[in-house]
Amino acid sequence: MSTQCEKPDRSQHGAVSHRACMGIAAVMLSVSSLLLGCGDGQVMGTEVSDAGSTPSSQDGFVSDPLRQCMASLGRLTVSGNQLMVSCGGQLVPTRLKGINRSGLQHKNGLQMAGFGSDPSVELKQWRDLWQTVVIRLPIAQTYYLYYDSYRQDIASIVAATKSLGIYLILELHGYDANNLNSAQPDPVSTPMFWGQVAQRFGSETHVLFDIWNEPHDVPWSTWKGNAEKIISAIRSAGANETLVVVGGLDYAYDLQPLLDPANRITGMGPIIYATHPYPLKVMPPAMSPEWDLKFGNVAKQLPVLIGEYGTDDSNGSPFGLGSKAAAHSWMTQLHSYIDQKQLSALAWSAGDMPQLTYGKSGGSVNLPSNPPDPTQPTDPFGVDVKAWMVKPIM
């Protein structure tokens, strides 16, 4: 997302081997064996409750050894078109299921973004109730560079997610509340920003870097050049193993240029490419043929992450479909597509429209006075996302 509430209207790797893809079931059996000593019912690092039990299948959760493994926050990397994680000293295929917790891209600090003084309280609910594996955190360059308190607040979220066993994507959403929609990052200040972030957080195995939210209205060659400057700054700061997220064009939607190997970023460490599919990117609303064209065909060759997606029953563009039935139908089709392609995906948003939850006082989320309440998913968006999230990772 590029603005505080509604989006403006906007209509290095070879393919993973066939053997690797068909071996996922065998890998999961291996992961189960590796985790036998990790606790019999533990799911996603959830602590034992006062009643002496963890969430069970009666709560909508199912046993998932891969999710248990990921709670140890092994460094994520890529091989061919597959996201990988180390489980028991062995790299296995995985994917990410998560949400965007927005607010800090247009609010200068935890309190203003509705986190209160301790972000772990809300983050723990996303983990326990939604089985969130990853949080994507939009942040702002100007706030980070000029306010020490803001830097400390980001560090607090990095520490909180680590303690809770949740991966964290630090995503540069723009400069500040008044400048979140630039077509491209500044070629001087943005690499400097990422160098500072990488120096501070690059050693954290659970942290990923999403270098620029939604590139748009430039040739791929321009964006590729700017992205390479940023990635170079990240690697030069010592974050050589950190997984870097690079969005497509057309507001991080279109990855088609990557079908040409010459357009790929190579030799710069692990990279995953991002797309942001929303229903009204095209008319009629985008479905599988359009998704194949914009990112699905690329995902056959390169690792792809759906960094944002969402819909609701409003008339807002590019996400509103006007009715609950239409929104639910679109979500069902997208989740089926995501699972078929075994893609990682993060829903937008807890904090901005379209909203995953109602606010703590009911009604629409409004930061900071009425922050998102993970116990109250919106219908159908939040309900559908939560139902998809609690299913096994693979």
Give pLDDT, residue 1.
60
Buried residues in 349-381 as b, exposed as e (16+ CB within 10 A): bbbbbbbbbbbbeeeebebeebbbbbebbbebb
pLDDT over threshold 80, residue 5 = no
pLDDT over threshold 70, residue 201 = yes
Q: How confident is the model at residue 181 (pLDDT cuts 50, 70, 90)?
A: confident
Give pLDDT, residue 134.
98
State the average pLDDT over residues 62-68: 85
Residue 384 to residue 356: CA distance in whole angstroms: 9
pLDDT over threshold 70, residue 48 = no
pLDDT over threshold 80, residue 6 = no
pLDDT over threshold 70, residue 31 = no
Q: How confident is the model at residue 357 (pLDDT cuts 50, 70, 90)?
A: very high
Count of beta carbons in the 10 Å neighbourhood of residue 185: 24
Give pLDDT, residue 7.
40
Task: Give the least confident one: 12-21, 90-99, 231-240, 362-371.
Answer: 12-21
Give pLDDT, residue 88.
87
Give pLDDT, residue 44.
38
Q: What is the pLDDT of residues 275-313, one digit of tens each?
A: 999 999 999 898 999 999 999 999 999 999 999 999 999
pLDDT over threshold 50, residue 388 = yes
Give pLDDT, residue 53.
31
State the average pLDDT over residues 305-323: 96
Residue 349 to residue 68: CA distance in whole angstroms: 25
Residue 250 to residue 98: CA distance in whole angstroms: 23
Residue 132 sits at φ, ψ, to 5 deg, of: -65, 125
Q: What is the mean pLDDT of the chain?
A: 88
**Percentage of the chain modeled with pLDDT above 90:** 82
Nearest to 357 by CA among 200, 141, 367: 367
List the alpha helices (DSSP H) in the chain.
Answer: 18-22, 24-34, 65-70, 120-130, 141-146, 148-164, 189-201, 220-236, 249-252, 288-291, 297-299, 324-341, 381-389
Residue 253 to residue 357: CA distance in whole angstroms: 24
State the average pLDDT over residues 177-191: 96
Residue 393 to residue 370: CA distance in whole angstroms: 31
- Please give the model's pTM, rounded to 2 decimal places: 0.88
The whole-angstrom distance between residue 281's C-alpha and the CA centroid of its chain comes to 20
Nearest to 265 by CA among 313, 289, 231: 231
Q: What is the pLDDT of residues 223-246, one digit of tens each?
A: 999 999 999 999 999 999 999 999
